[in-house]
Amino acid sequence: MAHPSQLGLQDAASPVMEELLHFHDHALMIVFLISTLVFYIILAMMTTKMTDKYILDAQEIEIVWTLLPAIVLILVALPSLRILYLIDEVENPHLTIKAMGHQWYWSYEYTDYEELSFDSYMTPLQDLNPGQFRLLETDHRMVIPMESLIRVLISAEDVLHSWAVPALGVKMDAVPGRLNQITFMISRPGLYYGQCSEICGANHSFMPIVLEAIPLDPFEDWSSSMLEEA
Amino acid sequence: MANEGETEKNKTFKLLGILDVQNIPCARDSVLYGSAGSLVAGLGYFLATSRIKRSFDFGVGGFILTTLGSWIYCRYSNAKARVQQKLIQERMKNKLIYEGTVLDPTRKPNSSSPDIYIFFK
Protein backbone atom coordinates (compact mmCIF):
# COMPACT_ATOMS: atom_id res chain seq x y z
CA MET A 1 0.00 0.00 0.00
CA ALA A 2 1.02 3.63 -0.22
CA HIS A 3 2.89 5.15 2.70
CA PRO A 4 1.76 8.54 4.07
CA SER A 5 2.22 11.48 1.65
CA GLN A 6 3.48 9.17 -1.09
CA LEU A 7 3.38 10.81 -4.53
CA GLY A 8 5.00 8.14 -6.71
CA LEU A 9 3.88 4.69 -7.80
CA GLN A 10 3.79 1.81 -5.33
CA ASP A 11 6.39 -0.97 -5.44
CA ALA A 12 5.56 -3.47 -8.18
CA ALA A 13 4.15 -6.86 -7.19
CA SER A 14 3.56 -8.16 -10.70
CA PRO A 15 5.72 -8.33 -13.86
CA VAL A 16 3.41 -5.94 -15.72
CA MET A 17 3.63 -3.34 -12.96
CA GLU A 18 7.44 -3.66 -13.03
CA GLU A 19 7.38 -2.82 -16.73
CA LEU A 20 5.04 0.11 -16.07
CA LEU A 21 7.41 1.43 -13.38
CA HIS A 22 10.34 1.29 -15.78
CA PHE A 23 8.32 3.03 -18.48
CA HIS A 24 7.32 5.71 -16.00
CA ASP A 25 11.00 6.32 -15.18
CA HIS A 26 11.76 6.58 -18.90
CA ALA A 27 8.93 9.03 -19.54
CA LEU A 28 10.00 11.11 -16.53
CA MET A 29 13.57 11.39 -17.84
CA ILE A 30 12.25 12.63 -21.20
CA VAL A 31 10.02 15.15 -19.42
CA PHE A 32 13.03 16.33 -17.38
CA LEU A 33 15.13 16.86 -20.53
CA ILE A 34 12.35 18.72 -22.33
CA SER A 35 11.81 20.91 -19.25
CA THR A 36 15.52 21.70 -19.14
CA LEU A 37 15.43 22.73 -22.80
CA VAL A 38 12.34 24.91 -22.31
CA PHE A 39 13.79 26.66 -19.24
CA TYR A 40 17.02 27.34 -21.11
CA ILE A 41 15.13 28.73 -24.12
CA ILE A 42 13.14 31.03 -21.82
CA LEU A 43 16.38 32.29 -20.26
CA ALA A 44 17.97 32.73 -23.68
CA MET A 45 14.97 34.70 -24.98
CA MET A 46 15.42 37.21 -22.15
CA THR A 47 18.85 38.18 -23.47
CA THR A 48 18.13 38.35 -27.20
CA LYS A 49 18.98 41.49 -29.18
CA MET A 50 15.72 41.26 -31.21
CA THR A 51 17.64 41.69 -34.50
CA ASP A 52 15.65 39.11 -36.50
CA LYS A 53 12.19 40.66 -36.27
CA TYR A 54 11.55 40.61 -40.03
CA ILE A 55 12.61 37.16 -41.15
CA LEU A 56 10.04 35.49 -43.37
CA ASP A 57 11.23 31.89 -43.33
CA ALA A 58 13.81 29.72 -41.66
CA GLN A 59 13.94 26.27 -43.18
CA GLU A 60 16.60 24.86 -40.88
CA ILE A 61 14.90 25.68 -37.58
CA GLU A 62 11.56 24.49 -38.99
CA ILE A 63 13.12 21.14 -39.84
CA VAL A 64 14.68 20.90 -36.37
CA TRP A 65 11.49 21.65 -34.47
CA THR A 66 9.57 19.16 -36.58
CA LEU A 67 12.05 16.30 -36.37
CA LEU A 68 12.91 16.62 -32.69
CA PRO A 69 9.32 16.25 -31.40
CA ALA A 70 8.83 13.33 -33.79
CA ILE A 71 11.90 11.62 -32.33
CA VAL A 72 10.69 12.30 -28.79
CA LEU A 73 7.29 10.80 -29.59
CA ILE A 74 8.91 7.70 -31.07
CA LEU A 75 11.09 7.31 -27.97
CA VAL A 76 7.97 7.35 -25.79
CA ALA A 77 5.61 5.42 -28.08
CA LEU A 78 7.75 2.33 -28.70
CA PRO A 79 8.09 1.20 -25.06
CA SER A 80 4.48 2.19 -24.44
CA LEU A 81 3.14 0.00 -27.25
CA ARG A 82 5.39 -2.85 -26.13
CA ILE A 83 3.78 -2.82 -22.69
CA LEU A 84 0.30 -2.44 -24.20
CA TYR A 85 0.72 -5.66 -26.18
CA LEU A 86 2.42 -7.37 -23.23
CA ILE A 87 -0.70 -6.73 -21.11
CA ASP A 88 -2.92 -8.23 -23.82
CA GLU A 89 -0.98 -11.47 -24.18
CA VAL A 90 -3.41 -14.40 -24.11
CA GLU A 91 -2.40 -17.34 -21.94
CA ASN A 92 -4.38 -19.96 -20.05
CA PRO A 93 -5.00 -18.72 -16.52
CA HIS A 94 -4.76 -21.15 -13.62
CA LEU A 95 -7.69 -19.66 -11.72
CA THR A 96 -10.72 -17.57 -12.59
CA ILE A 97 -12.41 -15.38 -9.99
CA LYS A 98 -15.47 -13.20 -10.41
CA ALA A 99 -15.45 -9.84 -8.65
CA MET A 100 -18.86 -8.21 -8.47
CA GLY A 101 -19.31 -4.62 -7.37
CA HIS A 102 -22.25 -3.68 -5.19
CA GLN A 103 -23.27 -0.58 -3.30
CA TRP A 104 -21.04 -0.61 -1.27
CA TYR A 105 -19.00 -3.80 -1.08
CA TRP A 106 -17.31 -6.33 -3.35
CA SER A 107 -18.26 -9.97 -3.65
CA TYR A 108 -15.92 -12.68 -4.92
CA GLU A 109 -16.85 -16.01 -6.48
CA TYR A 110 -14.43 -18.89 -6.92
CA THR A 111 -16.43 -21.24 -9.12
CA ASP A 112 -13.73 -23.17 -11.01
CA TYR A 113 -14.02 -26.30 -8.87
CA GLU A 114 -16.58 -25.75 -6.09
CA GLU A 115 -19.12 -22.99 -5.45
CA LEU A 116 -17.23 -20.66 -3.13
CA SER A 117 -18.42 -17.08 -2.77
CA PHE A 118 -18.24 -14.43 -0.08
CA ASP A 119 -18.74 -10.71 0.42
CA SER A 120 -15.99 -8.27 1.33
CA TYR A 121 -17.06 -5.31 3.43
CA MET A 122 -14.78 -2.57 4.72
CA THR A 123 -13.80 -3.00 8.38
CA PRO A 124 -15.27 -0.01 10.23
CA LEU A 125 -12.97 2.25 12.23
CA GLN A 126 -14.15 1.02 15.59
CA ASP A 127 -13.46 -2.62 14.69
CA LEU A 128 -9.87 -2.12 13.53
CA ASN A 129 -7.08 -3.86 15.43
CA PRO A 130 -3.82 -1.99 16.23
CA GLY A 131 -1.63 -1.93 13.11
CA GLN A 132 -4.48 -2.23 10.64
CA PHE A 133 -5.11 0.44 8.04
CA ARG A 134 -8.02 2.87 8.19
CA LEU A 135 -10.45 2.65 5.20
CA LEU A 136 -8.41 -0.17 3.62
CA GLU A 137 -9.06 -3.32 5.63
CA THR A 138 -11.91 -5.71 4.85
CA ASP A 139 -13.59 -8.52 6.72
CA HIS A 140 -12.81 -11.08 3.98
CA ARG A 141 -9.81 -10.79 1.71
CA MET A 142 -9.60 -12.11 -1.82
CA VAL A 143 -7.03 -14.88 -1.39
CA ILE A 144 -5.06 -16.00 -4.43
CA PRO A 145 -2.08 -18.25 -5.06
CA MET A 146 1.15 -16.40 -5.89
CA GLU A 147 3.13 -16.98 -9.11
CA SER A 148 -0.01 -18.25 -10.85
CA LEU A 149 -1.82 -16.54 -13.70
CA ILE A 150 -5.15 -15.31 -12.32
CA ARG A 151 -8.10 -14.17 -14.40
CA VAL A 152 -10.59 -11.83 -12.73
CA LEU A 153 -13.98 -11.29 -14.35
CA ILE A 154 -15.37 -8.00 -13.16
CA SER A 155 -18.93 -6.82 -13.23
CA ALA A 156 -21.42 -4.92 -11.10
CA GLU A 157 -24.89 -5.51 -9.75
CA ASP A 158 -26.17 -1.95 -9.56
CA VAL A 159 -24.09 1.06 -10.64
CA LEU A 160 -20.63 1.57 -12.11
CA HIS A 161 -17.71 0.57 -9.91
CA SER A 162 -14.04 -0.03 -10.70
CA TRP A 163 -11.78 -2.76 -9.35
CA ALA A 164 -8.26 -1.44 -8.89
CA VAL A 165 -5.08 -2.65 -7.17
CA PRO A 166 -2.22 -0.18 -7.83
CA ALA A 167 0.61 -2.49 -6.72
CA LEU A 168 -0.35 -4.95 -9.46
CA GLY A 169 -1.00 -2.31 -12.10
CA VAL A 170 -4.61 -3.41 -12.60
CA LYS A 171 -7.74 -1.33 -12.88
CA MET A 172 -10.94 -2.34 -14.65
CA ASP A 173 -14.42 -0.85 -14.67
CA ALA A 174 -17.23 -2.91 -13.20
CA VAL A 175 -20.18 -2.24 -15.50
CA PRO A 176 -23.65 -3.67 -14.82
CA GLY A 177 -24.60 -6.14 -17.55
CA ARG A 178 -21.02 -6.39 -18.85
CA LEU A 179 -18.21 -8.78 -18.05
CA ASN A 180 -14.71 -7.28 -18.15
CA GLN A 181 -11.64 -9.48 -17.92
CA ILE A 182 -8.16 -8.84 -16.56
CA THR A 183 -5.29 -11.25 -15.99
CA PHE A 184 -2.33 -10.82 -13.72
CA MET A 185 0.30 -12.75 -11.82
CA ILE A 186 1.54 -11.84 -8.34
CA SER A 187 5.31 -12.32 -8.01
CA ARG A 188 5.59 -12.34 -4.22
CA PRO A 189 3.37 -13.12 -1.19
CA GLY A 190 1.75 -10.35 0.77
CA LEU A 191 -1.24 -8.08 1.13
CA TYR A 192 -2.17 -5.73 -1.68
CA TYR A 193 -4.70 -2.96 -1.21
CA GLY A 194 -6.92 -1.11 -3.61
CA GLN A 195 -10.03 1.03 -3.57
CA CYS A 196 -13.11 1.42 -5.72
CA SER A 197 -12.14 3.74 -8.57
CA GLU A 198 -15.47 4.83 -10.06
CA ILE A 199 -17.88 7.11 -8.22
CA CYS A 200 -20.77 4.96 -7.07
CA GLY A 201 -22.65 6.78 -4.37
CA ALA A 202 -22.33 7.88 -0.79
CA ASN A 203 -19.91 5.15 0.33
CA HIS A 204 -17.75 5.03 -2.79
CA SER A 205 -14.65 5.70 -0.65
CA PHE A 206 -15.54 2.91 1.76
CA MET A 207 -15.46 -0.26 -0.35
CA PRO A 208 -11.80 -1.29 -0.50
CA ILE A 209 -10.18 -4.31 -2.10
CA VAL A 210 -7.63 -6.48 -0.31
CA LEU A 211 -5.70 -9.24 -2.07
CA GLU A 212 -3.84 -11.83 -0.04
CA ALA A 213 -1.24 -13.68 -2.11
CA ILE A 214 -0.02 -16.94 -0.56
CA PRO A 215 1.70 -20.10 -1.82
CA LEU A 216 -0.44 -22.78 -3.44
CA ASP A 217 -0.64 -25.23 -0.52
CA PRO A 218 -1.94 -22.67 2.00
CA PHE A 219 -4.34 -21.44 -0.69
CA GLU A 220 -5.79 -24.92 -1.04
CA ASP A 221 -6.13 -25.16 2.75
CA TRP A 222 -7.86 -21.77 2.80
CA SER A 223 -10.34 -22.69 0.08
CA SER A 224 -11.14 -25.98 1.84
CA SER A 225 -11.75 -24.18 5.13
CA MET A 226 -13.94 -21.57 3.43
CA LEU A 227 -16.03 -24.29 1.80
CA GLU A 228 -16.47 -26.05 5.14
CA GLU A 229 -17.63 -22.81 6.79
CA ALA A 230 -20.15 -22.14 4.02
CA MET B 1 4.93 1.73 7.91
CA ALA B 2 4.58 5.45 8.67
CA ASN B 3 8.28 5.80 9.56
CA GLU B 4 9.34 4.19 6.26
CA GLY B 5 7.66 6.97 4.33
CA GLU B 6 9.26 9.70 6.42
CA THR B 7 12.83 8.39 6.06
CA GLU B 8 12.29 7.83 2.33
CA LYS B 9 10.99 11.39 1.92
CA ASN B 10 14.04 12.77 3.73
CA LYS B 11 16.40 10.87 1.42
CA THR B 12 14.90 11.73 -2.01
CA PHE B 13 16.41 14.54 -4.05
CA LYS B 14 14.49 15.43 -7.21
CA LEU B 15 16.03 17.43 -10.03
CA LEU B 16 13.59 20.14 -11.15
CA GLY B 17 11.28 18.64 -8.54
CA ILE B 18 10.47 15.62 -10.74
CA LEU B 19 13.49 13.40 -11.37
CA ASP B 20 14.45 11.31 -8.33
CA VAL B 21 18.13 10.76 -9.16
CA GLN B 22 18.78 8.70 -6.04
CA ASN B 23 16.17 5.99 -6.50
CA ILE B 24 15.64 5.72 -10.27
CA PRO B 25 18.18 3.24 -11.77
CA CYS B 26 20.56 4.89 -14.29
CA ALA B 27 19.29 8.43 -13.50
CA ARG B 28 22.26 9.59 -11.43
CA ASP B 29 24.84 8.21 -13.87
CA SER B 30 23.05 9.71 -16.87
CA VAL B 31 22.87 13.17 -15.31
CA LEU B 32 26.54 13.01 -14.33
CA TYR B 33 27.60 11.92 -17.81
CA GLY B 34 25.36 14.63 -19.22
CA SER B 35 27.00 17.27 -17.04
CA ALA B 36 30.43 16.14 -18.22
CA GLY B 37 29.27 16.15 -21.84
CA SER B 38 27.83 19.63 -21.38
CA LEU B 39 31.13 20.90 -19.99
CA VAL B 40 33.14 19.35 -22.80
CA ALA B 41 30.85 20.62 -25.56
CA GLY B 42 30.41 24.13 -24.15
CA LEU B 43 34.00 24.68 -23.14
CA GLY B 44 35.32 23.12 -26.32
CA TYR B 45 33.17 25.39 -28.51
CA PHE B 46 34.18 28.45 -26.50
CA LEU B 47 37.88 27.64 -26.71
CA ALA B 48 37.51 27.17 -30.47
CA THR B 49 35.37 30.22 -31.24
CA SER B 50 35.27 32.53 -28.16
CA ARG B 51 31.52 32.95 -28.69
CA ILE B 52 29.98 32.98 -25.24
CA LYS B 53 26.26 32.76 -25.93
CA ARG B 54 26.60 30.06 -28.58
CA SER B 55 28.88 28.09 -26.21
CA PHE B 56 26.06 27.96 -23.68
CA ASP B 57 23.73 26.71 -26.42
CA PHE B 58 26.19 23.95 -27.21
CA GLY B 59 26.55 23.21 -23.52
CA VAL B 60 22.82 22.67 -23.06
CA GLY B 61 22.61 20.68 -26.29
CA GLY B 62 25.52 18.54 -25.17
CA PHE B 63 23.87 17.94 -21.79
CA ILE B 64 20.61 16.82 -23.36
CA LEU B 65 22.20 14.54 -25.96
CA THR B 66 24.72 12.98 -23.58
CA THR B 67 22.12 12.40 -20.86
CA LEU B 68 19.68 10.85 -23.32
CA GLY B 69 22.32 8.65 -24.92
CA SER B 70 23.68 7.44 -21.60
CA TRP B 71 20.14 6.85 -20.28
CA ILE B 72 19.03 4.77 -23.27
CA TYR B 73 22.21 2.66 -23.20
CA CYS B 74 22.03 2.08 -19.43
CA ARG B 75 18.30 1.21 -19.44
CA TYR B 76 18.74 -1.15 -22.37
CA SER B 77 21.60 -2.93 -20.57
CA ASN B 78 19.52 -3.12 -17.38
CA ALA B 79 16.55 -4.56 -19.27
CA LYS B 80 18.77 -7.20 -20.90
CA ALA B 81 20.26 -8.10 -17.51
CA ARG B 82 16.76 -8.41 -16.01
CA VAL B 83 15.65 -10.77 -18.76
CA GLN B 84 18.78 -12.88 -18.31
CA GLN B 85 18.23 -12.95 -14.54
CA LYS B 86 14.67 -14.22 -15.01
CA LEU B 87 15.88 -16.86 -17.47
CA ILE B 88 18.57 -18.01 -15.04
CA GLN B 89 16.07 -18.22 -12.18
CA GLU B 90 13.65 -20.20 -14.35
CA ARG B 91 16.36 -22.59 -15.49
CA MET B 92 17.69 -23.08 -11.95
CA LYS B 93 14.17 -23.95 -10.84
CA ASN B 94 13.74 -26.35 -13.75
CA LYS B 95 17.10 -27.97 -13.02
CA LEU B 96 16.08 -28.64 -9.42
CA ILE B 97 12.69 -30.03 -10.36
CA TYR B 98 13.67 -32.08 -13.41
CA GLU B 99 17.19 -33.22 -12.53
CA GLY B 100 17.82 -36.76 -13.76
CA THR B 101 14.75 -36.83 -15.97
CA VAL B 102 14.21 -36.35 -19.68
CA LEU B 103 13.27 -32.70 -19.07
CA ASP B 104 16.55 -31.85 -17.30
CA PRO B 105 17.80 -28.69 -19.11
CA THR B 106 21.45 -29.66 -18.54
CA ARG B 107 20.96 -33.17 -19.93
CA LYS B 108 23.09 -33.87 -22.97
CA PRO B 109 21.35 -35.63 -25.89
CA ASN B 110 22.35 -39.27 -26.49
CA SER B 111 23.66 -39.60 -22.91
CA SER B 112 24.24 -43.07 -21.54
CA SER B 113 22.15 -42.62 -18.35
CA PRO B 114 18.67 -44.24 -18.43
CA ASP B 115 15.73 -42.00 -19.18
CA ILE B 116 13.32 -41.24 -16.35
CA TYR B 117 9.91 -40.12 -17.53
CA ILE B 118 7.51 -38.03 -15.50
CA PHE B 119 3.83 -38.79 -15.82
CA PHE B 120 1.31 -36.12 -14.88
CA LYS B 121 -2.20 -37.01 -13.88
Is A34 a residue whose pLDDT tops 50? yes
pLDDT of residue A72: 94
pLDDT-derived band at A45 (thresholds 50, 70, 90) equals confident
- Are the beta carbons of B16 and A32 separated by less than 8 Å? yes
Inside any domain, residue A3:
no
- Are the beta carbons of A3 and B75 separated by less than 8 Å? no
pLDDT of residue A53: 77
Residues A83 and A127 grouped into a single domain: no
Predicted confidence (pLDDT) per residue in A59-100, tens digit:
998 999 999 999 999 999 999 999 999 988 878 899 999 999
Task: Please list every residue in chain B whose beta carbon sits closer than 8 Å to the beta carbon of residue A64.
Answer: none
Inside any domain, residue A9:
no
Q: Given B2, B72, B75, which is nearest A4 (Cβ)?
A: B2
pLDDT of residue B2: 46
Q: Are A115 and A170 a contacting pair, CB within 8 Å?
A: no
Please give the biggest Cα pair distance in chain A. 86
Q: Are A176 and A155 a contacting pair, CB within 8 Å?
A: yes
Structural domains counted in chain A: 2
Q: A130 phi and psi, to 5 degrees?
A: -55, 135
pLDDT of residue B113: 56
Residues A219 and A121 grouped into a single domain: yes
| Closest alpha carbon within chain B to A10 | B5
Q: Given A4, A35, A44, which is nearest B16 (Cβ)?
A: A35
Q: Given A6, A8, A29, which is nearest B27 (Cβ)?
A: A29
Predicted ipTM of the assembly: 0.81
Distance CA A75, CA A102 (A): 42
| Domain definitions of chain B by residue range | 12-105+114-119
Inside any domain, residue A7:
no
CATH number at residue A153: 2.60.40.420
pLDDT of residue B115: 58
Full domain range(s) for residue A19: 15-88
Average pLDDT over every residue of A132-137: 93
Residues A210 and A145 grouped into a single domain: yes
pLDDT of residue B5: 46
Residues A155 and A223 grouped into a single domain: yes
Distance CA B57, CA A44 (A): 9
Inside any domain, residue A187:
yes
- Are the beta carbons of A22 and B18 separated by less than 8 Å? no
For the ranges A26-30, A100-104, A203-207, B99-103, which has the lowest average pLDDT?
B99-103
Task: Please list every residue in chain B whose beta carbon sits closer than 8 Å to the beta carbon of residue A37.
Answer: 60, 64
Is A32 a residue whose pLDDT tops 90? yes
- Are the beta carbons of B68 and A33 separated by less than 8 Å? yes
Contacts of B27 (CB under 8 A, 6+ apart): A25, A29, B19, B20, B21, B71
Residues A72 and A185 grouped into a single domain: no
Distance CA A142, CA A133 (A): 17
- Are the beta carbons of B24 and A36 separated by less than 8 Å? no
Q: A148 phi and psi, to 5 degrees?
A: -130, 145
Per DSSP, the residues of A35-50 read HHHHHHHHHHHHT---
| A169 CB neighbour count, 10 Å cutoff | 23
Residues A214 and A124 grouped into a single domain: yes
CATH number at residue A77: 1.10.287.90
Using the 3D structure, point to which of A88, A106, A140 is the last residue of a domain: A88
Name the interface residues of A facing B (CB cutoff 8 Å).
1, 3-6, 8, 22, 25-26, 28-33, 35-37, 40, 44, 47, 75
Give this prediction's pTM.
0.84
Inside any domain, residue A216:
yes
Q: Given A6, A35, A37, which is nearest B5 (Cβ)?
A: A6
Residues A145 and A198 grouped into a single domain: yes
Average pLDDT over every residue of A211-224: 94
Residues A124 and A49 grouped into a single domain: no
Task: Please list every residue in chain B whose beta carbon sits closer than 8 Å to the beta carbon of residue A78.
Answer: none
Predicted confidence (pLDDT) per residue in B66-89, tens digit:
999 999 999 999 999 999 998 998
Average pLDDT over every residue of A39-60: 85
* pLDDT beneath 70, residues of chain B: 1-11, 105, 109-121
Residues A30 and A82 grouped into a single domain: yes
Residues A54 and A153 grouped into a single domain: no
Average pLDDT over every residue of A129-141: 93
Residues A105 and A190 grouped into a single domain: yes
Closest approach of A21 to chain B, Cα-based (Å): 10
pLDDT of residue A221: 93
